């Protein structure tokens, strides 16, 4: 543990001139120019040469088995399958620690985090907005504090990580109105604090803070979600994108567009590209119309959260470079049951490092037709040799009471690479 204690100061002082490169971590931050010019294709296109790979699966359909082998979940000695990894817990704090340990082994400088993002577990709206700082400038996990302070398990993880700090040597960013016990527990770490009186104001402050990192440049692409509880499953879909790319998230609510959100939008001088995540039940047509005063508005369509998560994973705006645009094999995906939505925020860093995965909801943990048909559309097919890939991989986040072994097995099946000529893998 570090030996100094810093009084909490404003976030702007923290973020000035801060960059991932200054942290000494090789995973440098995306900048908005690179994002727009390259259409977010950070890792290069797969070469789907027909001499190596088969054609893309144009059927986009998967036959879900009518029955499953219930004994398949008996006496398991591993919860992993060939195409899936599982975080076997439905407790948000436990998942935050598991995610941290998987993404930041912390064995040496290159895989130690810069700054831990510490958020209140009881306020998903603050946690969701704070995820925008996972990538740049901090390169660090989301961990939780409780109403009475930081648990022993989370303190052990902070100590294990031994965060390097960012350019201002800040090791822990504390979000929201943390109890006094938190500052006592973090003695020896250099901390910074960010408070706000409402989710809408907090999100606007995060937007401002990110702009400070990029010399006052506000990203033109913005995700608009609702802070209302009824919109939670729609809004949380944004977590993986904002943990991955520079676009911020701003809130609206049933009352319309809050003043804090309007002020943030006005900084784009009418040039904003606003992407709405939510059906008209949670983001009304009236709000959509009012948002057009601030720029271009696109609603990503989805009548329910599962459909919305699939549509967002498929969506790509070629003009702005916004969106995952998954329409071919070679991707990672994160699967969470709608019954354990509390896992979305702590698991969001799976989109930041590793396989860069969007969030796909499973309705009450079931691998339903909407999800399996989407996966069938990006199913890896090979012409001659499966070892050339590409491969898809899924991270199942949640215990088996949330996502059964049988559902995991169905996901594993539809993720598997198979011959383009048809038939099972063993037929080639």
Beta strands in 78-201 (DSSP E): 84-87, 116-120, 142-145, 172-175, 191-194
Give the helix/strand (H/E) hosting 426.
none
Q: What is the pLDDT of residues 358-379, one digit of tens each?
A: 999 999 999 999 999 999 999 9
What is the mean pLDDT of the segment spanning 149-174?
94
C-beta of residue 378 within 8 angstroms of C-beta of residue 358: no
Residue 386, number of CB atoms within 10 A of its CB? 17
Beta sheet of 332-337, edge-to-edge order: 84-87, 393-397, 332-337, 359-362
**Domains, the chain:** 52-91+328-428 (no CATH), 113-195 (3.40.50), 199-315 (3.40.50)
pTM of full prediction above 0.75? yes
pLDDT > 80? residue 81: yes
Determine if the peptide bond prior to 13 is cis (ω within 30°): no
Residue 65 neighbours by CB under 8 Å, 6+ apart: 410
Return the structure tokens found at 423. 């038939």
Residue reference for tokens 């959100």:
261
What is the mean pLDDT of the segment spanning 299-321?
96
User: What does the alpha-carbon distance between residue 286 and residue 256 come to, in Å, rounded to a whole number?
Assistant: 8
Q: What is the pLDDT of residues 213-249, one digit of tens each?
A: 777 889 999 999 999 999 999 999 999 999 999 899 9
């Amino acid at each position: 543990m570090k030996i100094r204690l810093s009084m909490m100061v404003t976030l702007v002082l923290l973020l000035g001139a801060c960059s991932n490169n200054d942290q000494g971590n090789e995973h440098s931050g995306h900048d908005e120019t690179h994002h727009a010019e390259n259409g977010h294709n950070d890792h290069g296109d797969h070469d789907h040469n027909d001499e190596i790979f088969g054609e893309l699966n144009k059927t986009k359909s998967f036959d879900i088995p009518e029955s499953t082998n219930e004994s398949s979940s008996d006496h398991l000695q591993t919860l992993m399958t060939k195409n899936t990894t599982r975080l076997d817990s439905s407790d948000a704090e436990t998942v935050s620690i598991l995610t941290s340990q998987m993404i930041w082994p912390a064995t040496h400088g290159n895989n130690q985090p810069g700054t831990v993002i510490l958020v209140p577990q009881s306020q998903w709206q603050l946690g969701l907005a704070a995820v925008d700082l996972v990538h740049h400038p901090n390169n660090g996990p989301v961990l939780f504090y409780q109403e009475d302070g930081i648990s022993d398990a989370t303190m052990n993880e902070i100590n294990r990580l031994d965060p390097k700090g960012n350019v201002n040597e800040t090791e822990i960013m504390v979000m929201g109105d943390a109890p006094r016990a938190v500052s006592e527990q973090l003695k020896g770490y250099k901390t910074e604090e960010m408070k706000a009186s409402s989710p809408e104001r907090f999100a606007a402050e995060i937007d401002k803070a990110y702009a400070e990192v990029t010399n006052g440049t506000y990203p033109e692409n913005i995700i608009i979600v609702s802070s209302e509880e009824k919109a939670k499953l729609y809004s949380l879909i944004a977590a993986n994108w904002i943990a991955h790319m520079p676009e911020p998230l701003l809130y609206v609510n049933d009352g319309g567009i809050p003043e804090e959100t309007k002020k943030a939008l006005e900084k784009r001088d009418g040039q904003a590209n606003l992407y709405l995540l939510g059906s008209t039940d949670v983001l009304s047509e009236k709000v959509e119309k009012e948002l057009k005063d601030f720029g271009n508005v696109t609603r990503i369509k989805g009548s329910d959260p599962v459909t919305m998560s699939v549509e967002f994973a498929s969506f790509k705006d070629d003009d702005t470079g916004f969106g995952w645009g998954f329409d071919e094999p070679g991707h990672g995906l994160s699967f969470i049951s709608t019954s354990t939505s509390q896992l979305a925020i702590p698991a969001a860093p799976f989109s930041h490092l590793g396989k860069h995965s969007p969030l796909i909801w499973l309705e009450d943990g079931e691998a339903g037709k909407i999800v399996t048909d989407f996966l069938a559309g990006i199913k890896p097919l090979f012409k001659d040799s499966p070892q050339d890939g590409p491969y898809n991989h899924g991270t199942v986040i949640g215990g088996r009471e949330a996502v059964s072994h049988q559902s995991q097995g169905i996901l594993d099946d539809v993720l598997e690479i198979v011959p383009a000529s048809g038939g099972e893998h063993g037929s080639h």
